[in-house]
Structure 1
Amino acid sequence: MSYFTKDFIDFFAALANNNHKDWFHANKKRYETSVKNPFEKFVEAMIQEIQKHDSNVQIGPKECILRINRDIRFSKDKSPYNLHYTAFISRGGRKDKSIPGIFLRFSPEMIGIMGGCFGPSKEQLQKIRTVISENPTAFRKLIENKDFVKKFGAIKGDKMKRIPKEWQEVCKKEPLIANKQFYFVAEETPDLITSNTLVDELMNYWKVMGPVNEFLTKAIS
């Protein structure tokens, strides 16, 4: 099933050249028809597919989809609207990005796909490091799985500048202990947005990221 028409991409391409409130309000109906409403239906379909494998995901589309409005309070760029549409589908939804799930960003340039733990708290980070240190071989096996590497490459994240004494020895065995984030990313071409196989293709990514997401979810619980 196709959820989007080409106007999803065309809308954002036009918005890039008219990123102001007057243009957006003049094109509000177009936005709702080509972007907002089909994206909600798409996210609902993704949630339903994910629930077949994870019954703990009990959220609706509105709990996953981020606003198109930018937070410009502390930004030099005062453009009011994002040039992409984004959803975070997880057990916690968009309000808790520390809980691993699948993060999707649709834009005219690409589909961005991210998983893992992007914003763990200090306490959650301590738990992740502890669990990895207790069984570094199991963690390494998950992130070196050939399907995971093919789709996502490697775990990303900022690292500690100074490694505390308590972690120095274990960091020699598993350098990712030094990470302050544990996330991974992939990209698809924007033509997938209008494809009939959109949900199936993205569910393939969700299934591949699943074991790593579950490892991190158990660690922070």
Structure 2
Amino acid sequence: MQCLTEDFISFFKELAANNHKEWFHENKKRYESSVKKPFTVFVGKMIEEIQKVDANLMIEPKDCILRINRDIRFSKDKTPYNLHYTAFISRGGKKDKSIPGFFVRFSPEMVGIMGGCFGPDKEQLLKIRTKIKEDPKTFRKLIEEQQFIEHFGELKGEAMKRIPKEWQQAIEKEPYIANKQFYFVTEKPSDLILSEQLIEELIGYWKIMQPLNDYLTKAIQ
């Protein structure tokens, strides 16, 4: 099923050269018809497919899709709009990025796909580290699974610079315990956006990341 048209990509290419409110308001109807509405349909279809496996995913597209408007309050770049469209499909949606889920970003340059736990708070981080410490073999098996490596490479995240004494021995056995985030990401060519196999291919990525997402979800609960 093809959810998006070539004008989705064209809109963002033109926005890159005209990133100001006047152009956007002149093209507001086009934005609604070529970007917002079809992307909402796409996210809805993704949710439906995931719910076939995960009945606990009780969420709607509006809870997942991030705004096109940029937060420019603390940025030197004052252009008002993002040059991509993004959704975070998880049990917490866009409001809680600490909950592992499926993050997807469409732009004229690429399709970004990310999973894992990107923003755990201190309590959640302690729970993840403790779970790994108690059974590092299970964690290592997940991140070294062949399909996971082929599709996502290695786990990412900023690591602690100073290791507390109580964690030093555990981190020697499993260095990822030092991480502050536990996420993974890959990129696909932007022509995937227009593919009739878009949803099928992305669900394939979701299935590959889900064992590690489940592991992290259980850890923070």
Structure 1 segments, 4+ long, off by >6 Å, are: none
Q: Tell me what 2:151 maps to.
A: 151
Deviations 1:142-201 (A, max 9, x none): 000000000000100001010111110010110000000000001111000010000000
Three-state SS of the structure 2 residue aligned to 1:185 is: strand
Shift of residue 98, structure 1, vs aligned partner: 0.2
Q: C-alpha separation between the residues in 2 aligned to 1:189 and 1:31?
A: 22
Q: C-alpha separation between the residues in 2 aligned to 1:187 and 1:200?
A: 16
TM-score, length-normalised on structure 1?
A: 1.00
Q: Tell me what 1:17 maps to.
A: 17
Q: C-alpha separation between the residues in 2 aligned to 1:126 and 1:164?
A: 13
Shift of residue 65, structure 1, vs aligned partner: 0.2
Structure 2 unmatched runs, 5+: none
Q: Tell me what 2:211 maps to.
A: 211
Q: C-alpha separation between the residues in 2 aligned to 1:111 and 1:158?
A: 23
Q: C-alpha separation between the residues in 2 aligned to 1:164 and 1:206?
A: 35
Q: Tell me what 1:128 maps to.
A: 128
Please report the RMSD computed on the Cα atoms of aligned residues, expressed in angstroms. 0.3
Shift of residue 49, structure 1, vs aligned partner: 0.2
Three-state SS of the structure 2 residue aligned to 1:69 is: coil
Q: C-alpha separation between the residues in 2 aligned to 1:155 and 1:122?
A: 19
Q: Tell me what 1:161 maps to.
A: 161
TM-score, length-normalised on structure 2?
A: 1.00
Deviations 1:85-141 (A, max 9, x none): 000000110000000000000000000000000000000000000000000000000
Structure 1 unmatched runs, 5+: none
Q: C-alpha separation between the residues in 1 aligned to 2:182 and 2:166?
A: 20
Where in structure 2 are the equivalents of 1:170-209 lying within 5 Å? 170-209=170-209
User: Are residues 1:29 and 2:29 paired?
Assistant: yes
Three-state SS of the structure 2 residue aligned to 1:115 is: strand
